[in-house]
Structure 1
């Protein structure tokens, strides 16, 4: 895994200062502690930081063809590079290295953009063509690896793996984009079609972008999409067999490495399935690691141990205290943009633990999106079926009843009817967009000062979900929800979290359950084979019945849980109160200080649970301080 950066002059071939490119890569040194490289030519400069995984002693980057025409800087792994290499050798190409970098470079020479569908992997790369005067940027199908870019006033296009790489360029203006703040508060992260620094863009998953000197920068082109429009045929047994085949292939292909390799093991179905498949093909004990919590209600280590014992892994566990909030500043620095998924804390800790013994770790991320494993998927399906039975007036009346129903945060789940009643009164797309979100539009409106509403100009975080679901290549409501999750939630939250926390400690994380062949197959499954009996991942669990214990397959999903609500009533109470006064948030003029103070007081007194919102505001405050020099955070640094 690596960090990349570069500069390309669009208007004319002006000289590029190598030190400027080096500065953009050095701030990403954590992504590639094993080496660095900078290459420049008239009008272009490419930079690279290397974490050596395959062909450790070879494949230096940036890599240039022997005739000097093509130059490549590449972040990621191509898992099928030996097969693509064999195809290229049959066409007459001669290789001088043993890694995947040269395969991309010679594949580009042979096929141009058509090399992309041949690559099975996670990647973001840039290729410069000296003859055509072009720069080509590409990102993998599902957005496992990030790529940011921006146009500068001097006519340069700059790009980098992380936002901090762009910020190292002195000509990038640091102006906040408030619409991205609304996105962040609404969703808990800044999605891939937005950035908190105005003018910065992220290349979308499954897209490429071509720049040609003397021409305006064009629009990104989609080269891959997942379709839920078709349904696979065959018996349940045949579908199980095919699912297991794709699962095995996804794991097997991601076990290729010239450095120590292991796996995260939470004790849930997904990570346990990955470990089971690894144990099948490994000739030695698999290295696994887990994070436990000192609160029994949050701890999953017992389940991880069951799986570790079954497959005789070399398992390690590290306990995390409920008060382990000391990573706040570390995470703010790692993510650059505000990121409110509090599971980033334990994810960072498990990456730290893994890095003590391995350089590559396989994770279980992706199955929930592909096989409808989130509880919200089953709820959405049930709500959509209820909507179909209710006439429009009845739905409107139910929604109005929900608006008047008390919000019972303290009550058992079955008594919290307010959200369900409100959801039934809305369209399916609107209701699902809100179920995925964190801070609803009504509460955001209370938080904002009058000037903020003007800056938004009607922008609303939820609208991208509504649009994605309505445009989805899909047959069913569940299809549309999963499609939107794969396009928005997966790259914006899940994959960003894993990339930043793993790269922060120099660890490569691989996601075998996001092998595109497995994802594409899962999208063809009938709804009843994804959700059945109010539970998701039905066919996946059935297929794994002979591989994992029932205690693992059918236990309640937990995930990483962080007690942020308790923190803001205890050790972080002072930090919450400071947000409303004298903080970066207060300096922006976007927020109503009295509203924030009131919400903080209600949370501390136990009248309401605003823990997630306060966490969002705290992480936003940290980010604004780091990026734009606002508030006390900037002064402290």
Structure 2
């Protein structure tokens, strides 16, 4: 695990001092060392967190004749099997590192290497003879990779956008169009970013730069194909998860874990028995899961540590969180993860975490929606549209969101499980709202591609493609690497996916339950209460804190900043906050979303002229 950065100059030789500055920006990702390589116009840099082959794995790494140079972020869990296969084919390995299989695998198979890899990765490979750069990102998007081709033609790439700030060819400009999508999704979705010209290399994609020409392509896409017969799946799920957890524990350092009150982390803890588990807690009882986590840790015989967060710590950490995220994120769980990773990183370099279980095994409560209130969906479409339009104009209240959501069929409105602001709400709040790209535009191709499948499976495909890489995995990577900690996610494994993609609808969700098959598998190892505990997400008491004047006044100060006045109708922001503070409406998610954007904006653009 580490951070990578580099560039291919459009004019002249690469400047090593520029590369050094880029790497300093992301030094938190790799506290154990730094490596650089300059080859004419090309510059490749690496910050290392040593986990496998502690002595023999520094990067950039080269093949036998020095033609290929590699920088790599991630872990290849089947590297030993690939090493044996490549050795039998005549390749000579100089290290025990998983990184080296990428070099010899590229020599042997070219792009055919990618589907052979079992792991999480973002890497860049420079061919000195051909003058070509090849980059690739893992199937699910566990590891991030950004790129930018500047006006003069220089290509930049890095694990974090902030590395680009130190390259003289990079022009920092705000992409205001992304703000509208963010206010709907609470994260920055799709390939574009908040920085003009900066793109995400999407999950399962590759990039090639050759002779000044840039092109990208896709090497993997999630293909869900549910089985027709229900059957029993708990045994197969148990077996594949055992195998994945064992693969994800391969390291030359001790592996710890995270433990909440939910079934995902509990299952991994039971199967992996990490050296120690960590849990985040709060003083507010309705949000605290530490008692459940502690009871489970005792039952499993695993050492357990708890880190309680105060509201003072939470609000004070927000600028650092938004800086490390690179783009604004209004998922309050990111702050909890920031402290959770900070605590674990005091003594460990690697932790197991449960991301991906909800998307693969249908764990979100919204997946129950197709089975609830079916009578309402049988009402005439015109009536439902009319009631939804009326509800959208009324102040937020219990039940109105239901009417807005059910005004249209799921296949015409669902783009993720955190739909936040409607187009009408955004038009009221923003000084300029063009609506050129709406959030469902990103989901429409996914619904078209899944035609004929059951509704829950189609929702899963949306979340696998948008929400998982855009929010869940991005905050997991950025919050762990902010403290130099490697997070491993055994649910997001190619073998686990190969099984999960075949789960029938009956094994996923119904009107009362989610993750039905996974819970049955987990019940083999967990107390019944842990296996059946309902989905709670990662609860954070922001709703309650924003009803205390001390924290509401902090937000109000941001709402009266020059940045707020540039983008928003300040009077409406005041009204939004006042109604929440005085318990007339529950507006905490909208308030927090706007506030996070303003905090992020101050981190990256605060010193710039308006």
Q: Please report the TM-score for the alignment, with normalisation by the length of structure 1.
A: 0.91
1:474 and 1:110 mapped to 2: Cα distance? 39
Q: Deviations over 1:468-516 (max 9, x none)?
A: 3233376121111110101100011111111111101111000001112
The answer for unaligned runs of 5 or more in structure 1 is 280-284, 409-415
> Of 225, 241, 246, which residue of structure 1 is paired with 2:221?
225
User: What's the counterpart of residue 481 of structure 2?
Assistant: 503
Counterpart of 2:550 in 1: which secondary structure? Answer: coil
User: What's the counterpart of residue 198 of structure 1?
Assistant: 196
Following superposition, the deviation at residue 565 of structure 1 comes to: 2.6
Please give the root-mean-square deviation of Cα atoms over the aligned residues, in Å.
2.1
User: What's the counterpart of residue 413 of structure 1?
Assistant: none
Counterpart of 2:59 in 1: which secondary structure? Answer: coil
> Of 278, 288, 303, which residue of structure 2 is paired with 1:299?
288
> Of 541, 556, 570, which residue of structure 2 is paired with 1:577?
556
User: What's the counterpart of residue 436 of structure 1?
Assistant: 418
Counterpart of 1:614 in 2: which secondary structure? Answer: helix
Is 1:272–2:299 an aligned residue pair?
no
1:434 touches 1:462 (CA, 8 Å); kept in 2?
A: no
1:103 and 1:199 mapped to 2: Cα distance? 32
1:392 and 1:596 mapped to 2: Cα distance? 34
Distance change >3 Å, CA 87–CA 630, structure 1 → 2: same
> Of 292, 296, 303, which residue of structure 2 is paired with 1:314?
303
Is 1:241–2:212 an aligned residue pair?
no
1:404 and 1:491 mapped to 2: Cα distance? 33
User: What's the counterpart of residue 8 of structure 1?
Assistant: 8
2:141 touches 2:469 (CA, 8 Å); kept in 1?
A: yes
Is 1:621–2:585 an aligned residue pair?
no
Q: Deviations over 1:579-630 (max 9, x none)?
A: 33233222xx332122112222222222222222222222111221222235
2:602 and 2:429 mapped to 1: Cα distance? 19
1:197 and 1:501 mapped to 2: Cα distance? 20
- How many residue pairs get aligned? The number is 608
Following superposition, the deviation at residue 523 of structure 1 comes to: 2.0
Counterpart of 1:48 in 2: which secondary structure? Answer: strand
Counterpart of 2:496 in 1: which secondary structure? Answer: helix
Following superposition, the deviation at residue 235 of structure 1 comes to: 6.5
1:294 touches 1:322 (CA, 8 Å); kept in 2?
A: no
Following superposition, the deviation at residue 391 of structure 1 comes to: 4.3
Distance change >3 Å, CA 400–CA 437, structure 1 → 2: closer
1:101 and 1:114 mapped to 2: Cα distance? 17
Alignment of 1:92-491 (within 5 A): 92-214=90-212, 216-218=213-215, 220-228=216-224, 230-232=225-227, 236-237=231-232, 239-279=233-273, 286-324=275-313, 325-382=315-372, 389-399=378-388, 402-403=391-392, 407-408=396-397, 416-433=398-415, 436-449=418-431, 452-453=432-433, 456=434, 458-472=436-450, 475-491=453-469
Following superposition, the deviation at residue 532 of structure 1 comes to: 3.0
Q: Deviations over 1:416-468 (max 9, x none)?
A: 3322222222131344237522222221110111xx23xx3522233212343
User: What's the counterpart of residue 53 of structure 1?
Assistant: 51
1:61 touches 1:72 (CA, 8 Å); kept in 2?
A: yes
1:192 touches 1:491 (CA, 8 Å); kept in 2?
A: no
Following superposition, the deviation at residue 522 of structure 1 comes to: 1.3
The answer for unaligned runs of 5 or more in structure 2 is none
1:266 touches 1:304 (CA, 8 Å); kept in 2?
A: yes
Distance change >3 Å, CA 370–CA 601, structure 1 → 2: same
